[in-house]
Amino acid sequence: MDVVPAELAGDVRLIFYSRGERAIADKPIFLTPEGRAKLEAELENLRTVRRAQVAERIHSAKEEGDIMENSAYDEAKNEQAFVEGRIMTIEQMLKNAVMIDATRASDSVGIGSYVTVMDRSEDDDEVFQIVGSAEADPTRGRISNESPVGRALLGKRVGEEVKVPIPDGVRYLKITEIR
């Protein structure tokens, strides 16, 4: 696990295969300490609780008789595949985790920064925290560094205005504070 200062985190490059596909194995996953803890808790729950539940469902479905036309068995096997796939995904994400050092003061926006912006067309300030895509939750003001707004804000300073293309035009955001 690497630790990257928040203002440099936006400069990390992705590795591409010759086919042009991006593999999760090659993609850095930017996480706050809270985000890492959530993923670790989910992984533990999947390994200890959900695996056992699914195994019990499979066992029960097998006891019902012929598994060839047993929808309960098919559902349980599909759930098992989902659980195992999610376990593999989380393990890979944690392996590639780049912890965000948001405690370091910075005068420019980076991953982990809290940014207050004023939209030209509105009177209210909006506060965003720039996070990695794994932790994005726009309803809680946590936007991905890969989102249009997140990309536009990265590296900018207080007083700068950014132009963000949106489906119905352009949004102009002026940065009023960075924490």
Token pair for 56 = 């019990």
What residue ranges define each of the domains in the chain, with the CATH number in brackets?
Answer: 2-99 (1.10.287.180), 104-178 (3.10.50.30)
Tens of pLDDT, residue by residue over 20-71, are: 444 556 789 999 999 999 999 999 999 999 999 999 999 999 998 888 888 9
Nearest Cα to 145, choosing from 133, 135, 155, 157?
Answer: 133
pTM above 0.85, yes or no: no
Model pLDDT, residue 4: 43
Q: Which residues of 60-99 are buried (b: 16+ CB within 10 A; e: fewer)?
A: ebeeeeeeeeeeebeebbeebeebeeebeebeebeebbbb
Model pLDDT, residue 103: 66
Helix (H, G, I), strand (E, B) or coil at 82: helix
| Pair 29, 39: CB distance under 8 Å | no
Pairing of strands 2-5, 114-119: unpaired
Give the residues of the chain that fall short of pLDDT 50. 1-22
Pairing of strands 114-119, 125-131: antiparallel
User: What whole-number distance in Å separates Cα of residue 91 and Cα of residue 72?
Assistant: 28
Cβ neighbours, 10 Å, residue 110: 26
Model pLDDT, residue 3: 46
Model pLDDT, residue 17: 35
User: What whole-number distance in Å separates Cα of residue 101 and Cα of residue 118?
Assistant: 26
Token pair for 59 = 């066992």
Sequence-distant (6+) residues with CB within 8 A of 175 are 109, 115, 116, 117, 153, 156, 157, 158, 159, 160, 161, 162
Model pLDDT, residue 146: 94
Model pLDDT, residue 105: 66
Whose tokens are 């012929």? That residue is 66
